[in-house]
Amino acid sequence: MMYGRLNYALPLVLPREQRLELVAHIRRYRAVRAVLVEERQVRLWYTGTLPAREIQQQIIAAVHIAQAAAVTPAERLAEYRRDALISLAGFAAVQIIRRTSPELFAATKIARSALTVLLARKFIQNGVTGLVRDRQPNADTLTATAVIASVLAGKPESSLTLLTLSNCAEMLTSYAAERARTQISGLLSLDQHYVWRVEHGRERKIPIAEVRAGDTIAAHTGEKIVIDGRVLAGSAAVNQASITGESNPAMKHEGSPVYAGSVVEAGELVITVEKVGKDTSLAHIVHLVEEAQSRKAPVQNFADQMANFLVPVSFLGAAIVYGATRDWQRVLNLLFIDFSCGLKLSTATAISASISAAAKRGILVKGGNYIEALAETDTVVLDKTGTLTVGIPQIAFMRTAPGVEEQEMLLLAASAEQHSVHPLAVAIQKYVQAQGWTVPQHEDSQTVVARGMLATVPDFGAYQGGTVRVGSKKFLTENGIHDVTGLVDSSLAGKNLLYVSRDQQLLGVIGIEDPIRPAMKKTLNQMRRYGIDEIVMLTGDSKAVAAKVAQDMDIDAYYAEILPEDKANYVNKLKQRGTVMMVGDGINDAPALAFADVGVSLGGRQTDIAAESSAVTIHGEDPARLMEALELGRRTMRLVHQNFMATILVNSGAMLLGALGRISPLYAAVIHNTATLAVVLNSCRILQTARRSRFAMPRR
């Protein structure tokens, strides 16, 4: 079989994702047998009749998208500024001629028309492109029609006024929107170009670009830490608000982790470098924020659809007015006003500003769609261990048999658990270490699966050794050891107990608990007052422990002893009757986080898979950040709805006045552009909340 071959040259290199998308679009044509999109050309092989024109349109559209994406915000803003200045100068020149020399003004009608068309070239180009490529009119189509109509009507200065106002308003709104998008970069930028590297005991100032993982650097008071690493020596108060959102400085000492973007407020640190450049937590945050701002929320899609729907309405209104009045001034009034700018720009700015404001508080939202979901949340599901609780078991209480000292029991238990990495064993080891006690060395030890530890400990100090068992009650009972003194009574029901025995005597019990996060109950109470209908706890822990936590925290419902897939199933059931926010931190929470409307990973000890599965990542340990995220979502959507109402009411009122002939095209353009600028600035108000400690908003 003979194949036809066709090559298209590309004026620029398409990004990889766009090349794959273009291949998919071209492969949909039945005549195409193979297609290859290279850096500078598109090659395809076909049989039969090839719809070459349609394929060419697809390629041109892809090139236009790539060209638009290649323009940086700064370049776009400079372009708007240039157009605004040129149109303003042209408008001023025409007005001066009109006032000083009416004869010259009348004689330059063709020149004024040419100037107007020249200044409107981009509006005309975009308007025609919208009609041809998208097969529907857009806001630029309205503007282009108004310009052409005014020129044909012999009044090009009317459009010149519109273009001047439009370009100036476009420049101001772009500046406001860009400020909202880039303010986060300014906050998270390092603003420091050098670092002190420690070499052979001496400090040497070097550029940041020369720092490598494994180096040792020094950070002094007032300096910004520019790498991720771990403290090797020294102690200091470090402000890490850019990472965790916590306003209070964190004390750093030997072994503590430090992050790029943190500031040493008092003290000095010697740090081992672990991550530099694009691998740091700071770079990760900036990348997530930039990526999130490109993901549209459903309300943005709605704004785009409504704006596109209202453009034909403006054309229809203009046609009706012209048919009824034959008055071009009234027609221009309707063509000078469109809803598109106010609806699209204000919504995009509000979502972008919201993501930026959240990042400043240590809350990383991965897309605008999650901002909207946060606003609609009415059910909150929480994991227990590491989310409701701190996630680090601690000794809560001890009970010893008559004649047995607490130190004696703890040292024997610590000796038996010396090499264990079980969380309960670690809790005992940490307690003993904090007391400054020396743990006696055991002669041998053995792990008894699902029971505990068995060890032989020699005599030490003033205490007697022996065969030591540490574990569950069942472990001791199976070995003939019983609670003959009544140490454990009904008051300890549901508690997590470790039994400690020596030979055949029960020495005592150690109560180990995972404490509730500070301020967690206060946060849950605030959620209820704020309008959250149901708070549910999911845990793989025992029913007795879960019941105690649920009772202490006044949780509406809980499900205990469940597997990770069970958590996901419960989340799906809850989604059938509301919008669910799932909060977790571990690998076992990942499925539920992925299935929830909004998955939130909380805390500095969150696992990588939990952070990847979640829609919102909170680096700090403060549960109040959960409330802030909910408040931010509702505040953002409240501003979006305000902007919708303001844009539609103001522009509709202006169109009505224009149709009745109560205002001139100049005032119609002023009202439209002022309203657009006002709603964009209203969206920027979200950024101001980031400077306060909470996203204040009236409770419903």
Active site residues: 383
Where b means 16+ CB within 10 Å and e means fewer, 303-333 reads bbebbbebbeebeebbeebeeeeeebbbbbb
CA 273 – CA 57 distance, rounded (Å): 52
Strand (E) or helix (H) holding 449: none
Phi-psi region of 669 (alpha: psi -120 to 50; beta: other; left: phi over 0): alpha
Tokens read off for 312 = 């034909």
Angle, nearest 10°, between helix axes 340-360 and 156-188? 10
Nearest one of 221, 197, 219 to 208, comparing CA atoms: 197
Residues in the chain: 700
Burial degree of 562 (CB within 10 A; 0-12, 13-18, 19+) = middle
Tokens read off for 482 = 């019983």
DSSP code at position 440: P
DSSP code at position 401: -
CA 374 – CA 174 distance, rounded (Å): 27
Residues 6+ apart with CB under 8 A from 46: 3, 4, 5, 6, 29, 31, 32, 33
CA 499 – CA 507 distance, rounded (Å): 8
Q: Are 585 and 602 in contact (CB under 8 A)?
A: yes
